[in-house]
Amino acid sequence: MSIALTDYHVHTPLCRHAEGTAKEFVEAAKRAGLAEIGFADHNPMPEHFDDWRMDYAELPRYFEFVEEARSLGFPVRLGLECDFILGREGWIEQLSGMVEWDYLIGSVHYLESGWDVDNPKHLFRLTDDSIESVWDRYWRLFGQCVRSGLFDFVAHPDLPKKFGHRPKGDLRRYYEPAVEALQEANLAFEINTAGLRKPVQELYPAQTFLELAAQASVPVIINSDSHAPGEIGAGFETALMQARNAGYRQVCRWCGRQRIVVNL
Ligand SMILES: [Zn+2]
Ligand SMILES: [Zn+2]
């Protein structure tokens, strides 16, 4: 494994669908040969919002978890995976001012209120007839998320393929505007290896997206989206190979919301 690599998309049990102690995550990062680990749990909302994130009152416990990890003598970054929801941008701004984050990740999970596109309970809504409009809506939001100026990088670019559904035809019609937005906003995106562990069994994003992004010199980071210590660094060899094949020779890190570029 390249010593340049870090894992910046790691969840904690506070989100109610992850497991592991701070020590177990740090030990796993050391075992995987990573240079740093960064926690980025699902952001709380001011009200109780859904069943897969910490409540706002639990945020201090999240900071304690990260502090505990930091006390173990390994580089630990503090991040947050923030849901980009139209009309709720002010809340992300509020969160961003609360503590000294190393980075904020922007994610589009919600296509509309109550419809998180990666949640298997909405799988019935993904049909041959609907998939085109699902992708249209998703990528429009993705572009808005990129251009919002709220985030340091965006997560799992082509998430709606999670269960294996894709519209017909050349998907560059979705990738090209997304890559253009990233380039114009000077924003990074992640190669997320969780897709390898989902029904689609491939990285987010698709190789064609990666190639377009590399050609446009859009900065990248490789992350696992771990919800357990055993997933830290999972699939990184595959991600590294595909990143190199696409033309990438560098990855990013963050400290205090400053982007640092590291050679692979
Ligand atoms: Zn999660
Ligand atoms: Zn996510």
Query: How far, in Å, from the CA of 107 to the mean position of ligand 2?
Result: 6
Q: How much is the pTM?
A: 0.97
The amino acid occupying position 111 is L
Query: How far, in Å, from the CA of 169 to the mean position of ligand 1?
Result: 30
Q: Which ligand is nearest to the CA of 159?
A: 2
Q: Which domains does the chain have, with CATH numbers?
A: 6-263 (3.20.20.140)
99-137: per-residue pLDDT in tens?
999 999 999 999 999 999 999 999 999 888 899 999 999
163-197: per-residue pLDDT in tens?
999 999 999 999 999 999 999 999 999 999 999 99
Rounded to an integer, the average pLDDT of 84-93 is 98
Query: How far, in Å, from the CA of 155 to the mean position of ligand 2?
Result: 6
Query: How far, in Å, from the CA of 18 to the mean position of ligand 1?
Result: 7
47-85: per-residue pLDDT in tens?
999 999 999 999 999 999 999 999 999 999 999 999 999
Q: Which ligand is nearest to the CA of 42?
A: 1
Residue 2: per-residue pLDDT: 74
127-171: per-residue pLDDT in tens?
888 999 999 999 999 999 999 999 999 999 999 999 999 999 999
Inform me whether the pLDDT recorded for 28 exceeds 80: yes
202-236: per-residue pLDDT in tens?
999 999 999 999 999 999 999 999 999 999 999 99
Query: How far, in Å, from the CA of 6 to the mean position of ligand 1?
Result: 19
Tell me the pLDDT of the chain averaged across its residues.
97
Residue 1: per-residue pLDDT: 66
Inform me whether the pLDDT recorded for 17 exceeds 70: yes
Structure tokens belonging to residue 174: 């979705």
Query: How far, in Å, from the CA of 184 to the mean position of ligand 2?
Result: 23
Query: How far, in Å, from the CA of 192 to the mean position of ligand 2?
Result: 9
Query: How far, in Å, from the CA of 231 to the mean position of ligand 2?
Result: 15
Which contiguous run of DSSP H or E holds residue 178? helix 172-185
Q: Which ligand is nearest to the CA of 81?
A: 2
Q: Which ligand is nearest to the CA of 231?
A: 1
Query: How far, in Å, from the CA of 79 to the mean position of ligand 1?
Result: 14
What is the maximum span of the chain, computed from C-alpha positions, in angstroms? Answer: 52
Whether 8 contacts 188, CB under 8 Å: no
Whether 155 contacts 190, CB under 8 Å: yes
> What is the number of alpha carbons within 13 Å of residue 241 lying toward its C-beta?
5
